[in-house]
Each structure stands twice: as C-alpha cells, then as structure tokens.
Amino acid sequence: MHEREAVSPEADVDELRIEGALRPRVLDEFVGQERVREQLSLVLHSAQRRNRAPDHILMSGGPGLGKTTLAMIIAAELGAPLRISSGPAIERSGDLAAVLSTLQEGEVLFLDEIHRMARPAEEMLYVAMEDFRVDVVVGKGPGATAIPLDIAPFTLVGATTRAGMLPAPLRDRFGFTAHMDFYEPAELERILHRSAGLLGAPLDEEAAREIAGRSRGTPRIANRLLRRVRDYAEVRGDGQLTLANAHAALELYEVDELGLDRLDRAILDVLMNRFRGGPVGLSTLAVSVGEEAETVEVVAEPFLVRSGFLARTPRGRVATPQAWTHMGITPPPDAAFGAAQAVADATGAAGTNGATP
C-alpha cells in the first residue's frame, strides 16, 4: 500500500484543522518578518484613518513563510470579510467576474499563486484593481458588446512563490509589495514554543532548538515537525517533548540535522552516484528520483541551492563540494563541482537564471 493511501481523508482534515489553529490571528502575534510587519501595519492603519480600503498588497516568498496567514491577519485587522481563491482556480475571465461582482465594500480578496492565473482573467483584473470595474462581454463575434459593471472597492492580497513570473502591468498595480524571507532559528524557536503551548505539549528548550535547526527556515515545516515529535513522544516515548524524543522522531521521519529529507538526499545521491556530480538536466534528475520535474524544482531545489548543496549552471544541476561532504561520498577526480562553485559564487547561490536542459 502506498503511503498516501494509508492516510485517511479524516486525518488530512484534522491536520489542516490543527495547522489553522496554530496560525496567529493579529499582527502582534505574528513572529518574524519584522520589517514586513512594520510596513504592513503602517499601510493598514493609514487606510483605517482615512476610512478607505488599503492599497492592493502583493506578498512574495517561498511556500510556508506565512503569506496566507498574513492575508487572514490583514482582514482581521481591518474587520473586513475575507474571500479566498487561487490563480489556478480562475481559468476564465468569467470566473473572476463572478468573484469580483459579489464582493462587499472593503472586503479582502486573497488570491494565492496569483502568477498562475489565466491571461484573460489577468487582463480583467487590471481594470478591477485600478478602476473597480469589470467589463462583461455579451455576445460573440462582431456583435459582441462590453458592458461596464461597477464593483465595490476592495483590497486584493496576492501571494506568489514566483514574483518574476508576474507581468509588469500586474505588479505595478499593487501599492505595497512584501518579500517574505526565511526565518532565523531563534524566530522558529519562538514559533515552536507558541505552537506547543496551543497544542498543550510544553516543549523543552533543547528540543525546540533541535526542531528549529531542521526546519529549513520555514514555520510551516517547523510546526509539522513539532506535531510529529509530539506523536512520537505520546506513542513511543514518555509523553514529554524532550531532546531525546525529538532526535528519535526526526530520525524516524528521515529529516537529518541540516533539514534534508528523503527527497533531498535522493536527489543528491542520484546526482553524485549516477551522474558523477553532474551537470544533469532537471527532467532527467526528476525521472531518476521518481518525481515530477515541478516537484524537484519548486519543493527541493530552492533549499538545496540556498544551503549550498546544489548549483544551477547553463548545462544543468551540479553537486557542490559541500554536498559530497555532507553525503559522505568521495567525489571522482573529474567531478564538475569546481564549475558549480564558480557559478554559485557569481550568482550568490541564487541560480535563478540557470537553464533547464
């Protein structure tokens, strides 16, 4: 039986419910992102003083950094209703028109993964954001007529993991853009202690430090690992969230001391043992580990690049010296990591312009 089949729908719903319960409700409860919080607070309070809807807000950053949570906080701080949708769910301009035409005045519309919205809907959104109007097309062909329809003033909160994929006309219509950075271990420890308190499972300082160090700078991962440590402590341990139980739980769930999980290590193992460290194209690498190319590129690769284990070169992905050391594998004499290190140094390990052969 596959792992996914062994998890019941009820368990998935319960995980989502618990994750929702751990979200902070107001800005003062939100840990980390200090500059973003200060900027956002100014935007919201200024709008409240003028008794107007705030400017549209764009939040960019990796998955799990708190974009959805901040959207919920924005609505709560404004005392306004929140409507949640996503870019992939809006396939036609009519889908967007149906959402916009039912918005109440001052309502907050949250569009997750806004860069994946269909182009016709995107063009309709330009007018809606700027003029609070949508043009509904009636009929087809030469006889088609565009009927302007006023909509209530609203605040759009867009979230994206790929800000570079947003067209300039859409980016320019946001009055405030917030970039979400990865969290420091100390910030993750504060988040873990808060979450542990809400779960009714007090967390040792050393255990919190251990979990935070393996959480890849991401609160969502930190909270997920915390719940797995709690499960282990309740079932196989003494019920206490101690360092020993944290070590044992994280080893069981294959999360190593630097936060690499099964997929990360599989990618590095294949890259080094099968392809002699690279370079190798994304699609070939994905097939070799049995995953979709998008999963490798979006889920695993950003962390591996940011941590210095992987470099993206014009010829493909290459393992760095740090990766060989961490995996305990001796590189062959002709390993290509010298070129990879040069690319990593030149690009600040960002690798965003590397080709995908």
Cα 25 from Cα 282, distance rounded (Å): 40
Catalytic residue among 23, 214, 220, 227: 220
Question: Do 86 and 141 reside in the same domain of the chain?
Answer: yes
**Per residue in 227-279, pLDDT tens?**
999 999 888 877 788 898 999 999 999 898 888 888 888 989 888 888 888 78
For residues 217-248, one letter each, b for 16 or more C-beta atoms within 10 angstroms of the residue's C-beta and e for the rest, the string is: bbbbbbbbbbbbbbebbeeebeeebbeebbbb
Question: Contact 176/214 with Cβ under 8 angstroms?
Answer: no
Catalytic residue among 69, 155, 160, 161: 161
Confirm whether 54 is domain-assigned.
Answer: yes
**Per residue in 113-164, pLDDT tens?**
988 888 888 888 888 888 888 776 665 656 566 677 788 889 999 999 888 8
Which of residues 147, 179, 211 is at a domain's end? Answer: 179
pLDDT of residue 3: 38
Question: Do 169 and 227 reside in the same domain of the chain?
Answer: no
pLDDT of residue 188: 94
What residue numbers bound the domain in which 37 lies?
A: 32-179
Query: Which has more pLDDT, 41 or 4?
Result: 41
Average pLDDT over residues 326-352: 58
One-letter amino acid of 278: G
Other CB atoms within 10 Å distance of the CB of residue 78:
18
Catalytic residue among 69, 112, 218, 224: 112
**Per residue in 69-109, pLDDT tens?**
999 999 988 888 999 988 888 888 778 888 888 888 888 99
140 is catalytic: no
50 is catalytic: no
pTM equals 0.79
pLDDT beyond 90 at 226: yes
pLDDT of residue 322: 87
Is the peptide bond preceding residue 279 cis, with omega within 30 degrees of 0? yes
68 is catalytic: yes
The CATH code of the domain that includes 274 is: 1.10.10.10
**Using 50, 70 and 90 to split pLDDT, how confident is the model at 212?**
very high
Question: Do 288 and 239 reside in the same domain of the chain?
Answer: no
**Using 50, 70 and 90 to split pLDDT, how confident is the model at 294?**
confident
Confirm whether 68 is domain-assigned.
Answer: yes
**Alpha-carbon 331 to chain mean position:** 33
Confirm whether 213 is domain-assigned.
Answer: yes
**3-state secondary structure (DSSP) of residue 333:** coil
Cα 309 from Cα 219, distance rounded (Å): 22
Alpha helices (H) in 22-167, listed in sequence order: 34-50, 67-78, 93-100, 119-131
Report the percentage of the chain scoring pLDDT > 70. Answer: 85
pLDDT beyond 60 at 346: no
Cα 249 from Cα 251, distance rounded (Å): 5
Question: Do 126 and 111 reside in the same domain of the chain?
Answer: yes
pLDDT of residue 348: 47
Confirm whether 17 is domain-assigned.
Answer: no
